[in-house]
Amino acid sequence: MNPQNDERTDQPPSFAIIRGVCRLFGLLLLALGTLKLLDLMFPSPKLLEYLSLANPILSLFSNRSVLFAASFVEICVGCYLLTSRQHVAIHSGLLLWLVVVALCYRIGLAAVHYKGPCGCLLGINRFMPLSTATQTVLAEVILLL
C-alpha cells in the first residue's frame, strides 16, 4: 500500500475542509452531468432543434456532441472527486482545470456575441424552466463560485 495515495491523518485541518468542498463540488458535477446526459438521451421536441445546430464555438460539432462530451467529463470528474483518495491538491487542480475550460468557453461565447441559450444548465432546465437571460446569469454565478 502506497502511503502517498492514502488520505493522510497528519495534514492540517484546512485540508479536510478543502477535501469536503471538493467532494461537494464532485456531487454537484455528478448530478448536473447526469441530468444533462438524461436530457440528451430523452430530449423534448423544443430541445431537438437546439441540439442539431452547430455549436457556436466548436463549429465542427453539433451542440449534442459538445454537450455529451461535457456531461461525460462532468460525470467522470464528479466520480473522481467523490471516490478518489489522492492528495487534496490533485482534487483542487482538477476543479481548477474544469473551471478554466468553462471560463474559456464562456469567454468564447461572449467573443462571438452569442445570444442563444447555453447548454451548461441543460438538465436543470427540464425541471425548472428558466429564460435564456436567467440561464446566462445563473451559469456565470456558478462559474464565479
**Does 24 fall in a domain?**
yes
Nearest-Å Rg of the Cα atoms of the chain is: 17
CA-CA distances (angstroms) from residue 91 to 45, 87, 88? Answer: 38, 7, 5
Can you tell me whether residue 62 is helix, strand or coil? strand
Whether 4 is in a domain gets the answer: no
Decide if 37 is inside a domain.
Answer: yes
C-beta of residue 125 within 8 angstroms of C-beta of residue 143:
no
**pLDDT of 68:** 94
Q: Report if residue 7 sits inside a domain.
A: no
| 35 in a structural domain | yes
pLDDT tens digits for the chain (145 residues)? Answer: 455 554 555 667 778 888 888 899 999 899 989 988 988 998 888 788 888 999 999 999 999 999 999 999 999 999 999 998 888 889 989 999 998 998 898 889 889 998 877 777 776 666 667 676 776 677 777 666 6
In a domain, 119, yes or no: yes
Contact 116, 132 (CB under 8 A): yes
Question: In the prediction, which pLDDT does 144 show?
Answer: 66
Count of structural domains within the chain: 1
Report CA dihedral (71, 75, 77, 82) to the nearest 10 degrees.
160
Residue at 2 is within a domain: no
For 41-67, b/e burial (b = at least 16 CB within 10 A) is eebeeebeebbeeebbbeeeebbbebb
- What pLDDT is stored for residue 27 in this prediction? 94
Residue 60: per-residue pLDDT? 95
Q: What is the pLDDT of residue 66?
A: 94
* pLDDT at site 134: 74
Domain that holds residue 127: 13-144
